[in-house]
Chains A and B, each alone.
Chain A
Amino acid sequence: SQQGEEDPQALSIQEGENATMNCSYKTSINNLQWYRQNSGRGLVHLILIRSNEREKHSGRLRVTLDTSKKSSSLLITASRAADTASYFCATDTGGGNKLTFGTGTQLKVEL
């Protein structure tokens, strides 16, 4: 079953604009992670935020976490055509670090 839902399901922007994706989840978590998936490929880990953290940065990525609202957002700044991919949030609720993935946001960055 999917733990989280991402919003929007699809997002189309111009190169250079910022892209924001949101993730909502249902149960308490140890950490929340974001992954990227190019079409037909495996997933690549982008960033992890622990339950006691509120914001984290990595390069052009900024992640926020609001555990009271059970939600997270991923901001990609100054997007590039190469950022075109699907982005998934995944929650770690403990018990073997099994991750439960959301439904994903399809991002398209146009030149």
Chain B
Amino acid sequence: DTGVSQDPRHKITKRGQNVTFRCDPISEHNRLYWYRQTLGQGPEFLTYFQNEAQLEKSRLLSDRFSAERPKGSFSTLEIQRTEQGDSAMYLCASRPSSGSAGELFFGEGSRLTVL
């Protein structure tokens, strides 16, 4: 069973460094979503792709954040010049654009700690 895969699972970095997270969705899923979750809160939407097109970005996604899905398969989320406030769990989810009711399939997340 190849579910949604995220890498790395944990990342500790110093403030000001750049970090990149990778998400491999379920292979037949053409929609891919990024969420951020801080301790004790629900996930907050960051951005989503249909195939390679980035269709929506939250205002939470500052200029330091960039997401790509170059071939419509895996996606990367890069954070430049990290700040302590970026410490969170970054969750990736995918789903097919048709043929399902709308549930998302989540990966295990990438936990970022900025020192």
Instruction: Mark A residues whose CB is within 8 Å of B.
Output: 1-2, 30-31, 33, 35, 40-45, 48, 50, 88, 90, 92, 95-104
Contact A100 B103 (CB under 8 A): no
Of residues 15 through 57 on chain B, the ones whose CB sits less than 8 Å from some CB of chain A are 31, 33, 35, 40-45, 48, 50, 55-56
Residues of A near B103 (CB, < 8 A) are 33, 45, 48
Contact A2 B45 (CB under 8 A): no
Contact A96 B105 (CB under 8 A): no
The distance in angstroms between the C-alpha atoms of A96 and B109, with both chains bound, is 21
Which of B33, B42, B109 is close to A41, meaning CB atoms less than 8 Å apart? B109
Instruction: Mark B residues whose CB is within 8 Å of A.
Output: 4, 31, 33, 35, 40-45, 48, 50, 55-56, 89, 91, 93, 95, 101-109, 111
Contact B105 A45 (CB under 8 A): yes
Contact A100 B102 (CB under 8 A): no
The distance in angstroms between the C-alpha atoms of A33 and B111, with both chains bound, is 24
Residues of B near A50 (CB, < 8 A) are 101
Contact A42 B44 (CB under 8 A): no
Whether A45 touches B104, Cβ cut-off 8 Å, given contacts A2-B44, A101-B42, is yes
The distance in angstroms between the C-alpha atoms of A97 and B98, with both chains bound, is 11
